[in-house]
Structure 1
């Protein structure tokens, strides 16, 4: 405010005049220099936007999207040099502003951010969307317009007579193996990467039951009296159960010999095969099936018992075949999901079977394990299982001996403390500094570890770190995209996903998480072009050919669903 003085009849009259800078109408033009969560923030959350600029801006405003009026103003931080992103940035911290509504950030000479909301349950739509994305991945059924809207499509891959490949140990015959979700942008199904995501999905249900109600997702099973979430997970579990051999071991995958072209599911008609058999698939299945037995027991005890017996058979087979590594046969070039060390898989399967059965013979195996509590980028289907086992054991304190429980608790808290500390100095306030294939899942998996620590000790810094991981995924990142299709004002439009590429619809299938920046850029040899001299955090392109950075995958959506569900429950 300034004062203007008028003299009138010897009297001094003072009038206060606003010196607020006039803010233009945002229109439909938004600046990519302002990165923030494009969905929004919980009222009491830490709220930070990253401003990419080498100019000497000092102030920012929060502007009401409807009135156009500034409702909060603040000072930008000093300039930071972020090497992983290759950017000079300042931070706009508007955590103090808690009023619900729809807003933009405005900065003179830069412009307006994408719009965002502040409100309770702000992430609920994208949480449900991340689950509905799985429905769009269903094999062996048509997606009708009632449930799929514009993304309806004919039935693809009935998988009712899949030939055995010689690597399966069968020399002839076929398997009836329908249902399940397509694993990624391709039309194949893999036991390892069905079981691991199921474990993460099941964890959310065990910790926060009934987060999704019957009818919430508009899927064919809606209205059956069971949570739509469990209905969707059962569709995948039903398929995995078909992949068990008579001796208990699990076939590794159901796949064509080579990846199909970018066509619709019903147009991808090359012969599929039941390929391989191995310890990794068998143990991963045993872990997921043992969890499924607990999850489904209140609703369908017969199905739950079926899952438990299948889990035991797969586990016992693995004890007899503890080092059977799967490697692609010479004539198969689809996803290998290989592994050479099965300690983490054994730990996960043993943990789940122990908690489900209370059988101390499993506990004796657990006591012998030497657990690594450190998380390394790339710890996906090969190593993160050990954390999944620990999470379940921590949830069941009454069953775990005090000394063993104390070891697990201390290990998770120490790891979470380290990861949380990294968010305070890492670019874009997340835990990862090595951006590999599926780096977005690394961001979310580290957040899952911190989330478990928060369940043990309600430290505000833990909750903030998990929220900032979600902020990163939803737009507060070096490329300025919300990485979830269909959510945010700047989402991926050209994911590496066959249906989205072939269906003739402008918008890709919604609710699917792009893999994220990948410094190794394996698809460059296939002609994918990245920006010149691109930094690790920007090694991402929104192009359907970029399988290394812009593909979708089940084990990327699963930690996304967990984190969003966790935040919706813990931010009440």
Structure 2
């Protein structure tokens, strides 16, 4: 895709939410409005449909507002439901709109639209069993499209087929690595984001979230489900795809057990295809945060892969132990970019959360007292806030893991952690009911969409221990927000929904000459800081939830990243599991 797009659809929002109702829905005439905002992918048969009729102008006191709405079939030929909109709610400060909300009782399987008189028809949505299956599979296939060092043939990649780039069989040691001679062979792995670099911190953390789904619900993508090169080998496609990243991670461990922080060029490549990248690539630095994240993910993987390949599981656990030992001997090895390196830093001045996660995974895998003792001295700090991704969410991951093993974890610690997770989840449920668009966050920074999904993961963890319908409803609201129930009226996952990002900050999508972006990649989402303002045109005076631009230069709001896709895959996979358990 080569053409810029100014994301200015909000100027098209109808102000007719303050008009009188008509005589019912007219024939659908192939025109939809972003003023009616809802999940564009769909709902389960037992799930109420919530939507918003949005106006960018405040409704004046005493204005007469339409109160009726209709649900029609997708063609607008028949009306299946008639309902009443709420009173107007002022969401200007956070969302930039004055809104009226509507709720529809669960509908039979089918395809529908919402019609509001003098506003128009909504984008279509489905009601069906397994309604999130396609977006789950799509998000997992997004990882396949991110494979480094691999040709993507048409049989697996469709029209996004491409040549291999960045083979990484001859990688140089940056002086910060502690080595000055020789080269390293470090092929494979996933590109981290919209660039062509690979990072241990933000590779191991997402791998842990993917493995968590496997441990919580079983295999969510059996052999043949993902149409990847390994399909047909008699083993889980899900584990096959994760192994592509794990294999690369193992190459990044130095002989002393420490992990090189990242494998990158000195500066970001331009907007070119992978095979056109020509910069020399280096392993840069060695850090305690990368090493502990690696120790955690490989210890967890050693459990999951035990039946897949016992020898491989042994190798993973041995690597985890070496990493744990190195971290204990290098407690102050924090990473900062060297002066001549400007690629992603993933820096952190505190490793407590990473240490708790590593200790939890090693204890869950081995049951050894050393790791439990460490957990007693440094217990997981269960908490949630905006921007708690790769710097601190690992503490929650530690708690989630320990709660999977009630027979191994001593009762006092187990009860304490369960109480923390449930209390946090309950607070997130309350937020969804009081926030604009029923999302669980009110601060919108870098990767805010991942914050929404990480919050949903907390609620999922609570539901697995103390099942409550309120958790599932709040998780559903969070997914609705991502899939279109937001003030930008966008399904933030590329390739899905009627209106999705077309100009993501992603080098292959920007340079492959194909109109549509690579599918299955989650846009970062609204970012009130708008750090890319010099390159990006945002709506003037955009509210925090409107601070998103469908423009290729927008690395602050429209880039993609592994640790944004991972919680989305977890939540969509988890919802599919719950639906299957309840017959949906």
- 1:227 partnered with 2:229: no
**Which structure is higher in RCO with an 8 Å CA cutoff and minimum separation 6?**
2
CA distance in 1 between counterparts of 2:388 and 2:461 reads 17
SS at match of 2:102: strand
Residue 11 of structure 1 aligns with which residue? none
CA distance in 1 between counterparts of 2:309 and 2:150 reads 23
CA distance in 1 between counterparts of 2:300 and 2:66 reads 53
Residue 534 of structure 1 aligns with which residue? 542
Residue 52 of structure 1 aligns with which residue? 54
Give the alignment partner of residue 36 of structure 1, picking from 26, 35, 38: 38
Residue 265 of structure 2 aligns with which residue? 256
CA distance in 2 between counterparts of 1:27 and 1:561 reads 35
CA distance in 1 between counterparts of 2:296 and 2:258 reads 13
CA distance in 1 between counterparts of 2:73 and 2:301 reads 46
Counterpart mapping for 1:62-73 below 5 A: 62-66=71-75, 68-73=77-82
Residue 173 of structure 1 aligns with which residue? 182
Post-superposition offset of 1:68: 1.7
CA distance in 2 between counterparts of 1:285 and 1:181 reads 15
Q: CA 1:252–1:298 in structure 2 vs 1: closer, same or farther (change >3 Å)?
A: same
Structure 1 or 2, whichever has the larger Rg, is 1
SS at match of 1:117: strand
Residue 558 of structure 2 aligns with which residue? 550
SS at match of 1:375: coil
Task: Give the conservation status (yes or no) of the 8 Å contact 1:33–1:52.
Answer: yes
Q: C-alpha offsets along residues 291-345 of structure 1, whole Å, 9 cap, x if unaligned?
A: 1101111010011100000000001100000121100000000000000000000
CA distance in 2 between counterparts of 1:115 and 1:535 reads 27
Q: CA 1:371–1:291 in structure 2 vs 1: closer, same or farther (change >3 Å)?
A: closer
Higher mean displacement: 367-376 or 62-71: 367-376
Post-superposition offset of 1:20: 9.3
- 1:187 partnered with 2:192: no
CA distance in 2 between counterparts of 1:341 and 1:122 reads 41
Task: Give the conservation status (yes or no) of the 8 Å contact 2:26–2:76.
Answer: no
Q: C-alpha offsets along residues 39-61 of structure 1, whole Å, 9 cap, x if unaligned?
A: 00011113200111346110111
CA distance in 2 between counterparts of 1:265 and 1:164 reads 21
Post-superposition offset of 1:23: 2.2
Residue 102 of structure 2 aligns with which residue? 92
CA distance in 2 between counterparts of 1:25 and 1:319 reads 69
- 1:567 partnered with 2:575: yes
Post-superposition offset of 1:371: 3.9
- 1:327 partnered with 2:306: no
- 1:487 partnered with 2:496: yes
Post-superposition offset of 1:25: 2.6
CA distance in 1 between counterparts of 2:450 and 2:439 reads 12
Residue 3 of structure 1 aligns with which residue? none
CA distance in 2 between counterparts of 1:176 and 1:76 reads 61
Residue 339 of structure 1 aligns with which residue? 348
Post-superposition offset of 1:374: 2.3
CA distance in 2 between counterparts of 1:417 and 1:493 reads 36
Q: CA RMSD in A?
A: 1.1
Task: Give the conservation status (yes or no) of the 8 Å contact 2:28–2:75.
Answer: no
Aligned length: 552
Post-superposition offset of 1:472: 0.4
Counterpart mapping for 1:82-231 below 5 A: 82=91, 83-94=93-104, 96-231=105-240
Residue 245 of structure 1 aligns with which residue? 254
CA distance in 1 between counterparts of 2:291 and 2:425 reads 30
CA distance in 2 between counterparts of 1:51 and 1:45 reads 19
CA distance in 1 between counterparts of 2:245 and 2:30 reads 41
- 1:457 partnered with 2:457: no
Task: Give the conservation status (yes or no) of the 8 Å contact 1:46–1:464.
Answer: no
CA distance in 2 between counterparts of 1:427 and 1:532 reads 20
SS at match of 1:523: coil
Task: Give the conservation status (yes or no) of the 8 Å contact 1:72–1:97.
Answer: no
SS at match of 1:127: helix
CA distance in 2 between counterparts of 1:59 and 1:97 reads 18
Task: Give the conservation status (yes or no) of the 8 Å contact 2:421–2:461.
Answer: yes
Give the alignment partner of residue 510 of structure 1, picking from 519, 526, 534: 519
Q: C-alpha offsets along residues 491-512 of structure 1, whole Å, 9 cap, x if unaligned?
A: 0000000000000000000000
Post-superposition offset of 1:22: 4.5
Task: Give the conservation status (yes or no) of the 8 Å contact 1:344–1:385.
Answer: yes
- Using structure 1 for the length normalisation, give the TM-score: 0.95
- Using structure 2 for the length normalisation, give the TM-score: 0.93
- 1:357 partnered with 2:357: no
Residue 6 of structure 1 aligns with which residue? none
